[in-house]
Structures are given as structure tokens and as C-alpha cells.
Structure 1
């Protein structure tokens, strides 16, 4: 018989999947129980409601992201451009699948979780991003005349704006339609544009082939 931790992990995986697909508002405990093939009564034995499921599932996602990013940043055997790409890929694995509707739900219905996620991204993702850029300057791969704090803020502003449906809605419809690409592709292209502007020629060549 599966232990409590295994069951909780399966419940969180199923809940997170539905939150990503349907948003928070349109996901019910019935939906989660049905996906798991268990009764709603059994589900309530482990979690008292969908708010607690949302909070716990995001904590799991953040813990996994932190471990992956730290492993990349601390790995001395990975080249700098590959670290940049790998870090992006890991960050996109958390942010990419989250559709704008879920972000809107988080801000409106669970502001504490929204603020926690924003704080986590600031403290974890952006701080490590700055560390990577500092490493790149030391290795002669990032142009030393570039203000790396500005680069981090440009990236943060781009990502936060592109996650915000209200920001996107301000643009002409033709531009909005042209942005209908997967979130992971948006992050990938945003970072590539920024990196190409800050890397030295040697690093650009390596980045392109990484």
C-alpha cells in the first residue's frame, strides 16, 4: 500500500496539472478527485481544500526549480553559455506551462500565493541570474561595460510584463495575435535577444552552438 508521502505527491501532481490547464477558479476538488480516481472524501483526508493544494503544489515546483538551478550554477564543468541556456530552460519549466489565466487567478483569488511566487522569482531566479552574469564578466564572456543589474531588471520586466494579460491587452490586436506562441518560446526568445546584446563575440558563437 502506498505511504502517505507517495499519495500526497500524486495528489499534488494531479492538482498542479489541472491548475495549469484550467486555472485556479475553474478547477474543483471534484475535478482533482476524478483525475486521481479517488473519492472527494478521500482527497479531503489529505488536503482541506484547493487553496492548500495550490499552495503545496507551488512549493513543490519551487523546491525542484531551486535544486536544479543551484546544480547548474555550481557545476564547474559546464561552459558559461550552456549554463545560461540550462538556467533558462529550468526557469521556463516553472513559468512556461503557467497560462496567463492562472496568473490572473492567482492575483485575484490567492494574492498571498501570487506574492510568494513573485518574491521567490526575485530572490531565487533573478539573484542566480545575476551571479551567472558576474561569472560571465570574470570569464570575459559578458561585455564588462554592460550594467548587469540593468540586464537582470530588463529580463525581469520582460518576463513579468509578458505574463500579465492586462499589459498584453494594451497592444493592438495584430500585435497580440502575433504573440500567440507558447510561453516557453517567449522566455527563450526574450533571453536570447538580451544575451546577444551582452555577450562578447566569442561567447555569442558558443551560445549559438550550446
Structure 2
């Protein structure tokens, strides 16, 4: 039943972001609110469970990427930097902004993960530098720019012309970080 609740919750996040109620979720599941609250005493606990599952999935995927012998160092680095969980409910930047604004305890879970999960990336950067595929640079500044860019995109004052997904935004940001903005010279 818990998995059914999580699955339906994911669909509600896609539809409405955080604006659904536990009562609406119970109706969509075809169960009583009392039954729903037996599994999740609060919406906060439901969101925490979804976030913790997503973080676990990210760690598993990163480990798979790092151990994939078919990928070279730079491919691994790019894949790790744009990694998001499958069916991640907060793929719209506006949903992450809502999480940050209305669910501060759950945001802390995600914020801590964003700021502390860099060992694999640093290892890939160092390997790239040692093999000469990446020029030497300060990886701490790189990480700070990445995190700062991500947080700036979540800032509610940041102009949002369209409803860009998190994956699209991360791909563009990582491309700029890894390739720069200068046009590559031919030849």
C-alpha cells in the first residue's frame, strides 16, 4: 500500500506540485483519509519519504556510472553532473522552489545532499586532470559555481520565461561549465 501511495503522490506532484491535499490524495487512491494517515501521519512525512528515495536512487545511479567501464572519464563526469532520479517529482524548477519555500525541513534534506555528495565528481575531475583530459582548475570553485547556479535557478525572483525542466536546465548549465562559452576554433 505504501508503494501505491508513493506512486499516486508522484502523479499528484506532476499535476499540481505541492498544492494537493492529503484528502485529495486519499480520494484519488480510493481509500479513506484515515487509511492514508495510517501510512503517512503527515504530508511532510510523505514528502520526506519521496525525497529520501530519490536521494538513494541518485547514489545508486552515480555508483553505476562511476563503475561503468564503457564510459570514459568525461562522459562519467557529464552524466553525474546532470543526474536526476527517474520519475523525480520535482523535475520542474517551480516544484523545487515550492519545496524550499513551504517545506523547510524537507528542503534541508535535499540541500544537505546537494552540498555534500561531491566525492565522485571530485574523483572524476582529479582523474581527468591527471590524464590531461581536463586542464587543472580549482574543483571547489567549480562545485560552488554549480551549486550557486542551481540555487539561483530556484530563486523565485529569477525570471522564468518557460516551464523548463530540471534536466534541461542542468544539461545547459553543465554544458556551459564544461565547454565554456567561447566558440571552438576549427582546425
TM bracket, shorter-chain basis = 0.7 to 0.9
- Name the count of aligned residue pairs: 181
Question: Alignment partner for residue 57 of structure 2, among 54, 61, 64?
Answer: 64
Aligned equivalents of 2:110, 2:152: Cα separation in 1: 15
**Would you say 1:129 and 2:121 are equivalent positions?**
yes
For residues 78-123 of structure 1, the C-alpha deviation after alignment (integer angstroms, 9 at most, x for no partner) is 21122123223423755861432x3333233321111121011111
**Would you say 1:19 and 2:13 are equivalent positions?**
yes
**Would you say 1:190 and 2:183 are equivalent positions?**
no
Question: CA 1:78/1:95 → structure 2, altered by over 3 Å: closer, same or farther?
Answer: farther
Question: Alignment partner for residue 108 of structure 1, among 89, 101, 104?
Answer: 101
Equivalent positions of 1:8-157 (< 5 A) are 8-24=2-18, 26-91=19-84, 94=88, 97-100=91-94, 102-124=95-117, 126-144=118-136, 146-157=137-148
TM-score normalised by the chain length of structure 1: 0.75
Aligned equivalents of 1:134, 1:21: Cα separation in 2: 42
Gaps of 5+ in 2: none
